[in-house]
Structure 1
Amino acid sequence: MTQTSIALTRRQALAGLGATSALALSGCAASARPEAISQARAIGAQRLLEVVGYNLLEHEPERATALGVDTGRHAYLRARLEDQSPAGQDAYAATLRQDLERVRAFPREGLDSETLTSLDVVESAYDLAIDGFALPYGDTPVGNWRTAPYVVIQNVGEYLALPRFMQSNHKIENGDDADAYIERMEAMPATFDGELARIRQARGMGVVPPAFLLDKAIGQMEQTIASAGKGELFAADLRGKLQAMGMPESHANRAAILEAGPIAEALTRQLEELRAERAVASDAPGISARPRGDEFYGWALRSSTTTRLTPDEVHRQGLEELDALHARMDPILRGIGYTSGSVGERMQALSQDPRYKFAEGDPGRAEIMDFIAERVEWIKAQMPRAFNTLVDPNMEVRRIPPAEEVGAPGAYGGAGSKDGSIPGRFWINLRTTDLHRKYDLADLTYHETIPGHVWEGEYSNRLPLIRSILAFNPFSEGWALYGEQIADELGAYDGFEVGRLGYLQSLAFRACRMVVDTGLHAKGWSRAKAVDFFATRNGSKPAEVESEVDRYCSWPGQATGYKLGHSRIVDQRARAQSELGEAYDFKAFNDAVVLGGNVPMDVLEKNVARYIAAAPG
């Protein structure tokens, strides 16, 4: 696939935007050379995309830090936090509406395909987000994967996000960075109070999270407040960073005062609200049991799949794909001696086989980390067989902080910063080693690292800023599942058929998600029924499933995007193979998808169509 890139200085970009406007408004546009118009328009489009990107980061400055673009004229973003108040969210929505109008109005004629894709991506993401902001409650993702009706709950809220963000992403290299750290801490009480206003508003509408989620959130909040009282969230982190740089520790003393005082007090106000909610909460797990819940779920499903599929259609597809995957698992199970019972029952039996368990406690945790490291090295060496355009990810494997593990999934991962200074990370849940097995941990590693999330993110980070910011759930997660498939096709499980079972069960697990998520939020399923479906039909580990189901309750729709996205990518590959015949090339197809960047499903189809049209032969 041929890449066309335009290197622009800021002055050139501004000049291009001005030239585009001038040509459009003057009577000389008709007499201007077509190539001059196209060049000016391309420069103007790049400048517009840059402006749109930084306008978004004005509202989410933490993303600027995570991407490594809070530098130069944008260094002030390093000292700011997102305004979580109702007014702040309204201002965010107003910016999106303004920039959506600008993107829609920009002339498309003469633009290259990559720039057209970027404009299409922004238009799709912003249109979707604006609909989310119009809902009366919840936390709307903008180019993100989290569809959260509850602003503070067991896996949502700044009480979880800010400690992790400050510890992982806020670097201290000089006095300005230390000042910015303190300024962010000074802003935290207002951030927590902004969230508090929103969850109180929601309770006033009758929107209260399920009791079992509140129980988890209350326990985590209590632990967070206790840590704040000891200076363990921010002050200790800042002190360690200052010591590492040989800098005075006076800022850490200020941080300790802020943490134990105003920050802990603001968190306590949130805790009191969560307890008030718990007093009136029910155990109904689905968003449909809340006011305007069906409307929220309709939007959340659209956000999570970037399609117009109905809950019934998603539910039915999940059941069909689950049956197909179990049909592939059955002969492998029989081949290793598991012949009696359903596929789910046999996978449950396999999960109890001591040969595939890790040791308990810290020895097992160390064993897991070593296992992951070995698999990462293996898959890195295979990438020239799967891609023409290669990257070398800067990445690390980290344990999910113990304070978050109870409400967290088994693992998650993502790319590093745009400037490469912050590595991509594979976060692994090690609250118990029983969450993982030797036959499924390799597959999980490929999903989160290479060729999955970390690998894909390296390509997105090469695109214009706004494209590095905007991500779409079915592409992000569909690509990670496709990465699992690539690993299998490269021989990851040759001679280790039980490992292929882990891979296929992973895909089946995601098909189950389509069934369970729609069951919970559109078909009146109970939490117990959702857990039982995973354990009985797919043989999933109960310790893993319970937290998974709770996650679906707090992020309606999000879980449906994984397998749906994977199926769409595989369908596009089959299309390319059919249309190109002998001209089809495995590496070229993979390049076409990943170099196109993170896109909605309709834009993915356009990118593959361009690859097919441009393929030699």
Structure 2
Amino acid sequence: MIDRRRLLFTAAAGAGLAASGQVLAFARQDTAEATLEGLMERIVQQMVMTSPETVTMLGLDTGPMAALKSRLDDRSAAKIEADKVVFQGFMTEMESIDRAALPARSQIHYDTVKYFGDTVASSYEFPYGQGFPSPYTVNQLGGSYNSVPDFLDAQHRIETAEDAEAYLSRLEAFPTALDQETERMHADFAAGAVPPDFIIERTVGLLGNLTGTPAGESVMTTSIARRAAEANLPGEWGERARRIVEGGIYPAVERQAEALRSQRANATHDAGVWRLPRGEDYYRFGLRYFTTTEMTGAEVHAMGLEQVAELSARADQILRAEGRTEGTVGERISALARDPAQVYPNTDAGREELLASLNAQMADMQARLPAYFGRIPVSPVEVRRVPVTTEAGAPGGYYQPPALDGSRPGAYYINLRDTAEWPKFTLPTLTYHEASPGHHHQIALQMENDDAPMLMKLLGFSAYSEGWGLYAEQLADEMGVYDNDPWGRLGYLQSFMFRAVRLVVDSGLHSERWSREQAIRYMVETLGDAESTVTTEVERYCVWPGQAASYKVGQTVWGNLRTRAMTQLGDRFDIKGFHDTALNAGGVPLTVLERVVDDWIAAQRG
């Protein structure tokens, strides 16, 4: 899963737009192409380069932008409302551009930006969850309480005393960010968007985990103390951080927790967004945003049930061939997952052994890539453990992109709260999804594309990227990584089953009105996964309606497009050409990807 599922840009108008009226000076635009390029550049300058956290994420917080390194993003409702005005102004300018007058490459850019703008704008009609399909400002997966500490530790570089002072300035700004979100939470509640009771409990628990850690042991304190020492920077950096954490940040976190606790009496146990004002329309927005299709909840549900049946049959063949014939597919996979030979010890040593195996898998894959790709990322990727302070509510694995300037590698995070959640046979396909040839390969290439406008290096769509991540799992199998590893191939099929089950459960919760418990039971029975893993997954779908559907919808389109190309081109089909062409487009809606591939097919046919 890409870093917090928002990529770098999908927070839309709330991602750090400049104040209304801020416009850069550009030379007169005489062509539609020049007008589009100028507009895209201004979007980058006003939406991306004015966001302090995004600038740091991209590794650009130096030189003229160094002042941003001491700030956090403005999370206030007033800022978000002002941002909307600017965002809508950009989209109005898009409407004035004659698409027909654009060259083919610029038409891809136009269609991509316009789809994004139109989809985000459709969310403004709801009194909650605007811009990004999550109706609750703070939940177990979203909120500055979990993103800012991780951001400061992983992305704020400390090499000089000025860097360390900027870190402390950001810590001092953190209580304001928390209080801004707390204020927005109250507006959510007033609009009828109160989280389900179990989401409140989970989130309050995570907030309590944060404040329950002594301030001197908080990652916010230990990170600066450790890194300042490594950089040989004299000063009481850790002690100064501890005072800010204890005196300012923890009280703000407690205020946020109290705001959530105050809604317990108003919360229901219903899991889906259908219970919210205009909730059925909101789910349609979520599906459109995440899948970049017009699929309905009923269509997603039917697709999921069909694919679960097909994949279960394939898994059954492997299990029977290996002598495991008793029980359902889910029960047999569950039994295999509990086999002591498949489980790393739930100790520090066991976790280190697990991480070493992931690094070995990545090294092996790196040697296979040249046979399938013409372009291979320059940026490396590292395996990291999900921070202990946030692992209880975090997903199983996710990816963080590299810095644009190459100063920070990509990172593939794995949640090691309990090694039993990661039987050995499930790990290779996770590596191929999150690292190479999956997310890191696709996103690093997108960011390293010197021919692409900056906006196209940053913009992304879940169906494209998550669909590619699943397609990459399939490709790894085709590369031969499981030729002598039937259990590894079973892990790959279970991963596909898991994503097909997501289609069923996401639409079940939000369209079919399933309960949380019904969704958990279906996943456990179908997949054989540990209930602890399944529970956090189901609760994730409750706060990101539609996102879980993007994986299998996207992978289905990627697979269908390759089949179409192979069928039409026959001997002229080139796997490297297909991959390089489709990836060179950058993160685009699936409808745009189809057009890119069709144009490539036509060019190959002459």
Whole-Å separation in 2 of the counterparts to 1:259 and 1:357: 38
Q: Does 1:272 align with 2:281?
A: no
Is the 2:343–2:420 contact (alpha carbons within 8 Å) kept by the matching residues of 1?
A: yes
Counterpart for residue 555 of structure 1 = 544
Is the 1:509–1:540 contact (alpha carbons within 8 Å) kept by the matching residues of 2?
A: no
Counterpart for residue 87 of structure 2 = 96
Q: What do the CA deviations read for 1:456-492 (whole angstroms, capped 9, x no partner)?
A: 1111112432223221111111111011111100001
Residue aligned with 1:413, SS = strand
Counterpart for residue 26 of structure 1 = none
Counterpart for residue 32 of structure 1 = none
Q: Does 1:570 align with 2:549?
A: no
Q: CA deviation at 1:107?
A: 4.0
Counterpart for residue 351 of structure 2 = 365
Consecutive unaligned residues in structure 2, runs of 5 or more: 1-23
Q: Does 1:244 align with 2:230?
A: yes
After TM superposition, the score normalised by the length of structure 2 is: 0.91
User: After superposition, where does 1:80-159 map in structure 2 within 5 Å?
Assistant: 80-108=71-99, 111-138=102-129, 140-141=131-132, 147-159=133-145
Q: CA deviation at 1:59?
A: 5.9
For residue 396 of structure 2, the aligned residue among 410, 413, 416 is: 410
Is the 2:215–2:221 contact (alpha carbons within 8 Å) kept by the matching residues of 1?
A: no
Counterpart for residue 603 of structure 2 = 614
Residue aligned with 2:268, SS = coil
Cα distance 1:176–1:108, how it changes in 2: closer, same or farther (>3 A)? farther
Counterpart for residue 10 of structure 1 = none
Whole-Å separation in 1 of the counterparts to 2:223 and 2:392: 22
Q: CA deviation at 1:183?
A: 2.9
Q: CA deviation at 1:102?
A: 2.2
Whole-Å separation in 2 of the counterparts to 1:561 and 1:109: 30
For residue 438 of structure 2, the aligned residue among 438, 452, 460 is: 452
Q: Does 1:65 align with 2:56?
A: yes
Is the 1:583–1:615 contact (alpha carbons within 8 Å) kept by the matching residues of 2?
A: yes
Whole-Å separation in 1 of the counterparts to 2:123 and 2:50: 16
Whole-Å separation in 1 of the counterparts to 2:38 and 2:71: 24
Whole-Å separation in 1 of the counterparts to 2:304 and 2:544: 18
For residue 296 of structure 2, the aligned residue among 306, 310, 323 is: 310
Counterpart for residue 528 of structure 1 = 517
Whole-Å separation in 1 of the counterparts to 2:474 and 2:55: 33
For 1:465, give the aligned amino acid: M
Q: CA deviation at 1:294?
A: 1.6
Whole-Å separation in 2 of the counterparts to 1:183 and 1:362: 34
Residue aligned with 2:389, SS = helix
Whole-Å separation in 2 of the counterparts to 1:231 and 1:352: 34
Is the 2:470–2:552 contact (alpha carbons within 8 Å) kept by the matching residues of 1?
A: yes
Q: CA deviation at 1:231?
A: 6.1
Cα distance 1:428–1:139, how it changes in 2: closer, same or farther (>3 A)? farther
For 2:281, give the aligned amino acid: E
Whole-Å separation in 2 of the counterparts to 1:236 and 1:99: 42
Counterpart for residue 505 of structure 1 = 494
User: After superposition, where does 1:151-550 map in structure 2 within 5 Å?
Assistant: 151-227=137-213, 229-230=215-216, 232-249=218-235, 252-462=238-448, 463-550=452-539
After TM superposition, the score normalised by the length of structure 1 is: 0.90
For 2:517, give the aligned amino acid: A
Whole-Å separation in 2 of the counterparts to 1:445 and 1:89: 37
Cα distance 1:54–1:227, how it changes in 2: closer, same or farther (>3 A)? farther
Whole-Å separation in 2 of the counterparts to 1:236 and 1:60: 26
Is the 1:418–1:468 contact (alpha carbons within 8 Å) kept by the matching residues of 2?
A: no
For 1:380, give the aligned amino acid: Q
Whole-Å separation in 2 of the counterparts to 1:244 and 1:547: 36
Whole-Å separation in 2 of the counterparts to 1:59 and 1:270: 27
Q: CA deviation at 1:574?
A: 1.1
Q: What do the CA deviations read for 1:471-519 (whole angstroms, capped 9, x no partner)?
A: 1111111111011111100001001111111101101110000000111
For 1:85, give the aligned amino acid: S
Whole-Å separation in 2 of the counterparts to 1:102 and 1:552: 35
Q: CA deviation at 1:599?
A: 0.9
Residue aligned with 1:18, SS = coil
Q: What do the CA deviations read for 1:104-148 (whole angstroms, capped 9, x no partner)?
A: 32344564433332222111112212222442112633xxxxx32
Is the 1:520–1:526 contact (alpha carbons within 8 Å) kept by the matching residues of 2?
A: yes
For residue 585 of structure 2, the aligned residue among 596, 602, 617 is: 596
Identity %: 37
Q: Does 1:54 align with 2:39?
A: no
For 2:568, give the aligned amino acid: E
Q: CA deviation at 1:382?
A: 0.4
Cα distance 1:375–1:167, how it changes in 2: closer, same or farther (>3 A)? same
Q: CA deviation at 1:43?
A: 4.8
For residue 27 of structure 2, the aligned residue among 1, 18, 24 is: 18
Residue aligned with 1:397, SS = strand
For 1:122, give the aligned amino acid: V
Is the 1:329–1:343 contact (alpha carbons within 8 Å) kept by the matching residues of 2?
A: yes
Whole-Å separation in 2 of the counterparts to 1:427 and 1:305: 24
For 2:415, give the aligned amino acid: N
Cα distance 1:175–1:465, how it changes in 2: closer, same or farther (>3 A)? farther
Is the 1:228–1:259 contact (alpha carbons within 8 Å) kept by the matching residues of 2?
A: no
Residue aligned with 2:390, SS = helix
Deviates more, 1:551-560 or 1:321-330: 321-330
Whole-Å separation in 2 of the counterparts to 1:265 and 1:414: 30
Whole-Å separation in 1 of the counterparts to 2:175 and 2:113: 32
